[in-house]
Structure 1
Amino acid sequence: MVCQKVKIKNPAGLHLRPAGKLCDEAIKYRAKISFQKGNATTNAKSLLSVLAASVKYNDEVEIVCEGEDEKEALEGVVALIQSGLGE
């Protein structure tokens, strides 16, 4: 298991478009990918779960990856979030 904390840079948080990009990236990997915000854990491969997490601008989330390609998954997801998720 590998994990890393990252801040959300999108001014509108994880609304539909960036949440979709996050899910699209997470689905590329076999590892289980989730993120934690407070005490809640969210499946990063589920668009509805990501939207339900209500992640806002400047929130800090911890990306957690478990599985055979966990390191690549963590790098890919974190890089996408740090780039602003296409916005």
Structure 2
Amino acid sequence: MQTRKAIIANSQGIHCRPSALIVKEFQGYPGRIQISNGNGACDVSSVMQLLSLEMHMGNEVKIEVEGEKEAATADRLVDLLQTHFDFPPL
């Protein structure tokens, strides 16, 4: 198992669009990927579960990965969570 910590960098936090990117990125991963913070824990298979964590800019989250290519998978998730997304306003 690989464990990482990440600080949410996006100014709008992890809202619907970044959550959808995360779910798509790890869809079909042959193992377990979990994100947790003070609001709970969830895997990365559901946008709604990710939204339930209320990950705002500056929040720290813990990542746990079990399965194939654990280190690379954990590092990729850290990269996504620490990305400054440039989505146009709705």
TM-score of the superposition, structure 2-length normalised? 0.82
Residue ranges of structure 1 left out of the alignment (5+ in a row): none
Q: CA-atom RMSD, angstroms? A: 1.6
Q: Which moved more, 1:36-45 or 1:12-21?
A: 36-45
Percent identical pairs in the alignment equals: 29
Quote the offset at 1:2 in angstroms: 0.4
Contact 2:3–2:74 (CA under 8 A) maintained in structure 1: yes
Higher Cα Rg, which structure:
2
Distance change >3 Å, CA 39–CA 48, structure 1 → 2: closer
Q: How many residues align?
A: 86
Displacement of 1:29: 2.7
Moved over 4 A (4+): none
Instruction: Give the alignment's TM-score, normalised by structure 1.
Output: 0.85
